[in-house]
Every structure is written in structure tokens, then in C-alpha cells.
Amino acid sequence: MEDIERAADILLTGGTVIFPTDTVYGLGANALDNNAVEKIYKIKGRDEKKPINVLIADYEDILKVAEIPSREEGKLMEKFWPGSLTIILKRKAGVADKAAAGGETIGIRMPKNELARNLIREVGFPIATTSANLSGDEAGTNLDNIEKEVLEQVDFVLEGEEDSSDVASTIVEFKDGKPVILREGEIKLAEIEAVLSK
């Protein structure tokens, strides 16, 4: 709990933190703070045209960053959250433009990892999070395979149990009322369609 509080203090003051999720180790910053999110891009060497997804702890967090989900989107959340499904929703104005890469939508996920969710609850806002690695390199599933260059630039590393997977989350967006897979991960299109057909 002491480490979570320290990590939260850093996030609250615009810093960056590496922390475990249920997919890979994440590099996170305040999703509502442009300057904080910009640090993520600089640390990773990430293309600023590529948006960064947001992690939430609880369902009520959705409305801090996005508009009310549709019935179909809600069905997927109910089935696959907490878990490795990222859903693209229309974002609210308060979300950092940097996180959305200037677009009108934002990817949102509720991870299974309780340490990650407790950190989000402690800070009181969703965390813009991407994999803790240099862009183009393999994502870090444990601290040992995260590049030294990344570790040295972040403000704090929050260690946790190694319950991460080397499979990234599935990213889905509804277009014309139909689910479109933007990145296939652990959850397959057939599983999504099966939930929506019920």
C-alpha cells in the first residue's frame, strides 16, 4: 500500500509510473493531463499520431473519460471486464488531447490486475497507459525485459506479482453498429460476436 501511495503521489503531480497490468507492464500517466501524457511519448519514442489507451478501475470511471456506452458496448464490458478487451468510445473533452492523438475517441480497458486497479482508485482518475518499452521493441512482461533506457526515465516503478501475459489486449470499435477488431489479442472476434448475438 505504501508503494501504491508513492506511485499515486507521482501521478498526481504529473509524473510517470511503470506498473503491472494483466497483459504487460504498463507505462502510465494522468489521462487528463496533456503534459503528463506527453512524457510517455518521449520516454517510448512513440509516434504522437498513435493514441494511448486508458485504464479504469470501476465502471463509474467510464464517464470520466467517455460518453455513455451503447447497449452493445455495454454487453461486451459486462462479459469481458475486468479483462483484456479495450473498447473504443467517444471521448469527453477533459481527456488529454495527447492521449487521443487529437482524435474524438479513446480506448478504455478495465484490467484484472488488482494492484493496477487500486492505483487508479488511489489517484482518482483514469491512467493513460501503454506498454513499458521503446516503440517497436517487444513489450515487457516483467521488469527484467524492460529496457534500461525506459526504466531510467520514469519517475517510479511499482513492482507487483508477475501475472502478466505476453498477449496484448484485443481492441474493438463499433462502426455502423458492427464490431471491428483493430487489434486481435486474447479475445477473438467470434467470441465478441457470440456475446452480441445473445
Q: Where are the domains of the chain?
A: 2-196
More confident residue, 159 or 8: 8
With a cut of 80, say whether residue 66 has pLDDT above it.
Answer: yes
Q: Average of pLDDT values for 186-190?
A: 94
- pLDDT of 142-161, one tens digit each? 888 899 999 999 999 999 86
2-196 classified as CATH 3.60.15.10: no
Rounded to whole angstroms, the Cα distance separating 97 from 91 reads 10
- pLDDT of 46-64, one tens digit each? 999 999 999 999 999 999 9
- CA-nearest of 47, 33, 41, 40 to 19 is 40
With a cut of 80, say whether residue 102 has pLDDT above it.
Answer: yes
Q: Average of pLDDT values for 160-174?
A: 79
Q: Which residues of 37-50 are buried (b: 16+ CB within 10 A; e: fewer)?
A: bbbbbebbebeeee
- pLDDT of 110-133, one tens digit each? 999 999 999 999 999 999 999 999
| Cβ atoms 72, 175 nearer than 8 A | no
pLDDT at position 145 is 87
pLDDT at position 190 is 95
Write out the DSSP string of 104-117: SEEEEE--S-HHHH
Q: Average of pLDDT values for 63-85?
A: 96
